[in-house]
Structure 1
């Protein structure tokens, strides 16, 4: 009898995550053996498709590490990663409806968005800026009077830009575009005098264009944009796995190699606010 009790105890210890009452995303991943990552494919260097057709980037590297933490949490021998390309318009529904388990791009954390989805710890901090042609540079938002500026529709940058223009009583024409290529096309052919976006993603677009000297980036910021990874609401156990993985990346210094890989290599240096973000969220176990 004693041997049976010992064996039963060892079996219970060996169950690990399988002995827990799983729910939500963790239960879904355990049942299917698939971890589904959503991303916006034109968000270089955070999320984009490389020439080999593979989704890559800073945010996607974070999510790959989160996937491995989920695999370990569930005690799975194998875990398939599935990537689903999203748009700025459908990303919230894709997360809320369970089409993807996590969204890994450049989504700004806001209170109103948390009525629909939840967010991880902050993964990056940037702000709204202006991209213009070097032969007709625009150094600040104050210079937009009487000019046309393009901006991605459905983004916090668009809301912040309009609010900033109104607060400064700057009379500018704001045109909404569906994606970065459309915004850059408007700038390049003269239909827009500037293209507004998060400064770090605008830098990514300049690098992608391979015409660095052809563009000017304003240095002043008209908004504060803290990025996070989107997950479903009311899924605390999975969000804990996500945040534990991110905190470990910050705590152990793994973020340094990620930053070097995706930002420092193209001349982007970490701002004091970003360095503080890494340090403040490097929470202990």
Structure 2
């Protein structure tokens, strides 16, 4: 598959970066922090506030001031549960918040290897549960709350959606961007085809999985949501994949499996894009398109959670 010209520009910028497993975690985090300049312009919103919800640090984005309860979404950043932070996700969450016309809550969950599974999931669940119960301290309409995330964050969003299904209030939507859905192995065609040369490598995935899984069983559905035998009764889903990404096939397979379990699913592949294009809004225009798409899908679910969104 041909790499998109914008994605090629990004690959040229990061060419020669050392394999993650040859550096310390601190070095890898510092290197990723340098990529903030590639994430695009930070669009103005009404307010940005760093607080804690359920004891977990979060950053709250309000696109407008409202006297009545507003819809909201929780965002879980990518980075293999090991790197990444609120700064890297900042422009992304701003854009989604504006498009969704909803409060954005970016979650600063604990990172591995210092805090392996289930620490990140525990934080994601704690914040989401507090928001749904009206215990966030924010003026949120608890009947219109969604979850979203990319890569490792997409994994967390998918697992949170599974863990909280059937509970009231229900999640209105889940937006999963090139989610890691099966941590038990690298067996798909896209894992092989894009194992090297497209930023995220098979070696990187093994590094991330080892850090996060630790001594746990990688087939646990709380680690590998695609291995859950029951995918019924999930929130409406938007699944976004990148055409030149080793995680492409497992994301699209999970979208199909959710659809076959009679869930409402919109699945969109950005042809020629690479992992982690959603963050690279300063170089890759499709990042900005994808952010608007996520916001639009969230807004549609908030307007009419029962509405059927078309499968693509």
User: With structure 2 as the length reference, what TM-score do the two structures score?
Assistant: 0.29
| The structure with more strand, counted as a fraction of residues | 1
| The structure with more helix, counted as a fraction of residues | 1
